[in-house]
Amino acid sequence: MRSATRSGVSRVRVWTAAALAVAAATALVAVASAPRAPDRPPSEPATALPTPSAPRIEPPAAAPMPAPDTTRPIRRRRSIAVGAPSAGRLVRGVRLPAERQSFVTWDPVLRRSPNRHWRRWGTDRLVRIVIGVARGYRGKHPGAPRIAIGDLSRPHGGDFGRRFGPIGHASHQNGLDADIYYPRADGIERPPQRVSQIDRRLSQELVDRFLATGAQVIFVGPNTGLTGPPERVQALANHDNHLHVRLPAGSSG
Ligand SMILES: [Zn+2]
């Protein structure tokens, strides 16, 4: 009798333990399947847009792969650079192709080639000058790596600041600015990471070629040793891996 009672007690304990286990498992499932506040899609940029009417930043994952435009001719347009490079916009801009035989483009935020299509718009004249310099350079150095071109302006210009990726641009707003990475001494078609990787001779040649096109100003890194007329070639922080060429206002179209 006593043993039967003990047995009954232990059976109760077993059942109680089993019931607790089932309850715990149910609770876990409930927690796991409970509806949660919708997460931001992983592709959504972390930075919020300041106003609802502001143009949406194209998230990296949603950026359609640009069609191969190696041979597609560039449509000629009468572009207008409105306002100033640091407070302006671009009307009837032209998109720089993703890649040509003479150049590649580079996305400074995603750190990959090609650059996203919405980061490479400029006036018709700027795009043609950049391509022309790349062609001339390539023609003289057919065995050298192609030059890597970074950001120009957004399709309609305007703000190109930090919300479009670090470190952002104070200018690049009206289609007259372009970033060109210095050629690397090791021949790799990527931006140099250190000044010591720069091919200074080829980089100076690029500076000279852009000067010859009538560039208003070219910003170069203070540690690059690149030179030119002081009023047109100026040292500026954060330019030790690329030069920034700016065309004069009124050079639209
Ligand atoms: Zn720039």
Q: How far does residue 68's CA lie from ligand 1's centre (Å)?
A: 25
How confident is the model over 76-98, as pLDDT tens digits? Answer: 889 999 999 999 999 999 999 99
CATH number for the domain formed by residue range(s) 80-246: 3.30.1380.10
Stretch among 20-29, 128-137, 207-216 having the lowest mean pLDDT: 20-29
C-beta separation of 181 from 147 below 8 A:
yes
Q: How far does residue 202's CA lie from ligand 1's centre (Å)?
A: 19
C-beta separation of 148 from 189 below 8 A:
yes
Q: For the chain, give the number of residues.
A: 253
Confidence of residue 74 (pLDDT cuts 50, 70, 90): confident
Q: How far does residue 157's CA lie from ligand 1's centre (Å)?
A: 14
C-beta separation of 197 from 184 below 8 A:
yes
Confidence of residue 28 (pLDDT cuts 50, 70, 90): very low
Stretch among 43-57, 67-81, 96-110 having the lowest mean pLDDT: 43-57
C-beta separation of 196 from 153 below 8 A:
no
How confident is the model over 207-249, as pLDDT tens digits? Answer: 999 999 999 999 999 999 999 999 999 999 999 999 999 999 9
Q: How far does residue 245's CA lie from ligand 1's centre (Å)?
A: 7
Q: How far does residue 28's CA lie from ligand 1's centre (Å)?
A: 53
Q: What distance in Å separates the CA atoms of residue 88 and residue 108, rounded to the nearest whole number? A: 22
Q: What distance in Å separates the CA atoms of residue 197 and residue 184, rounded to the nearest whole number? A: 6
Specify the 3-state DSSP secondary structure of 71: coil
Q: How far does residue 179's CA lie from ligand 1's centre (Å)?
A: 5
Query: Average pLDDT, stretch 159-186?
Result: 96
Stretch among 6-20, 105-119, 149-163, 205-219 having the lowest mean pLDDT: 6-20
Q: How far does residue 46's CA lie from ligand 1's centre (Å)?
A: 23
Q: What distance in Å separates the CA atoms of residue 167 and residue 149, rounded to the nearest whole number? A: 17
